[in-house]
Amino acid sequence: MKKGFLCTAIVLAAIFTACGKEDAPVVTEQPAFGEDIAGYAGFANLTSYTLVSEGKETVVYLPTDEGAYVGETSAIATKDGVECKVNLNPMYSDDTKDLPLDKKLKKTIEREFVKKADDFSDLAISDVDTAGDLGVDATVSYLVFNDSAKAYDGTWVYLSGFMLEDGREINIRLTVNSAAETANTAAVISDMENYLCVDIPYETGMLSEKIASYVPGEEEAVKNAATAVEIGDLVLHVPTGYEENEMFSSFIAGFTSAMNGVDADSLKIFVPEDFMDASRSSDDFDMIMIFEQTNTGLSTGELGKYNDGQLSTVARYMADAMESAMPGSNLKGEIERNDVGHGIKITGSGFVMDQETTCDGAIYYIIRGERNYAIAGLTKSGSGRKDEIIEAVDYTYESVEVK
């Protein structure tokens, strides 16, 4: 939205009644950014908000929002898909607080975007540049895959920092998400552009074009096609080719009854998409189960006390305990530290489904704090698909993300 414009000066018109009584002054011309004059009504999409820091009032014009949050030193206002966050005299860490504005902004971008680059697709970050006469700015845009819609959402962010002549520092951030854009989004940003006396590089349609032109890599495309499962504060992805099926909860009761503390409400079962095909025998099954298990006595804190050798002993103990609960099974256990806590992997054959049915496959645990999440993949013993089901469990386990 590059354009030239002049920032107008501030003119106050005091209106008096015929009897000489003074009314509240009416602001007839646009206040300049940094001037603490409330009440100007000339912006079609902005309203004045007042912040207070160290006893001094600071007036800022932000998108008109009846539900806006306004604190003493911060405000959040949203209109027509534009979310605006303002922070007056922001707090910084000791290694940042004395830096110039441009380096402060670079550190913010590094912390919030560069270090989290794996969370985004098609991440684009501009250089930090001067913004008008008082500040610096930069833009960031990225895509995030929406598992529910099976499509990408695009986000554009304008970050800026200003130092007023009297020493007040103000950070302003504008965020637009493609799912919330309206026909008036550009007009809201144009008003902010005029008020701040800066060029803000937003164009209508830029996010939809970014989404349309993006081609994910093979690994990302596979993950996008997978089914997202939320459990606790984690998200797992069951690979494509499996679909959720609630019919089999009772079928696996024998299996889960051999395990302490299975939370039935958290249980989700996935079967192959061709499971109901007439060509498939009724006793020929594969399934993936995800559930929370309590009362295991395992926690990140407890496991964190052990060295690698001791952790291996814990894993063997778990495999032995499961073998005792399922006579005839042959299981192997291993344990590892991972990004979300600890992981325990039990693989083998002879998992008991019921009195007549045994299975091959794996049960993996994610130990996060005091909570234990299980991913079990089973195929009927002798099906020849043991490696395939373990591969599916591996994928689900490795896909874990924190919400």
Domains of the chain: 12-213 (3.40.1000), 226-402 (3.40.1000.10)
The size of the chain, in residues, is: 403
| CA–CA dist 39, 59 (Å, integer) | 10
Are the C-beta atoms of residues 206 and 214 closer than 8 Å to each other?
no
Instruction: Give the number of other Cβ atoms within 10 Å of residue 41's Cβ.
Output: 11
Handedness of CA 395, 399, 400, 403 (dihedral sign): negative
Give the helix, strand, coil percentages of the chain, each rounded to 5.
25, 35, 40
Tens place of pLDDT per residue across the chain (403 aa)? 544 433 433 323 322 323 333 455 677 789 999 899 999 999 999 999 999 887 889 999 999 999 999 999 999 999 999 999 999 999 999 999 899 999 999 999 999 999 999 999 999 999 999 998 889 999 999 999 998 899 999 999 999 999 988 889 999 999 999 999 999 999 999 999 999 999 999 999 999 999 999 999 998 999 999 999 999 889 999 999 998 887 766 556 555 655 667 777 788 889 888 777 666 666 678 899 998 887 677 888 888 888 888 888 888 988 998 888 888 899 999 999 888 889 999 999 998 777 778 899 999 999 998 889 999 999 999 889 999 999 999 999 999 988 8
- Asked whether the beta carbons of 52 and 71 are under 8 A apart, the reply is no
Cβ-in-10-Å burial (0-12, 13-18, 19+) of 77 comes to: buried
The two structure tokens encoding residue 35: 């001037």
CA distance 289 to 126: 44
DSSP 8-state class, residue 94: T
What's the CA gap between 360 and 352, in Å, rounded? 9
Cα distance between residue 286 and residue 237, in whole Å = 17
pTM, full prediction:
0.75
DSSP for 374-398 reads: EEEEEEETTSS-HHHHHHHHHHHHH
Best CA proximity match to 325, nearest among 254, 249, 380: 254
Using only C-alpha atoms, what is the Rg of the chain?
A: 29
387: left (phi over 0), alpha (psi -120 to 50) or beta: alpha
Residue 96: count other Cβ atoms within 10 Å of its Cβ: 15
* pLDDT at residue 13, rounded to an integer: 32
Residue 77: φ, ψ to 5°: -135, 140
Owner of token pair 């007839």: 28
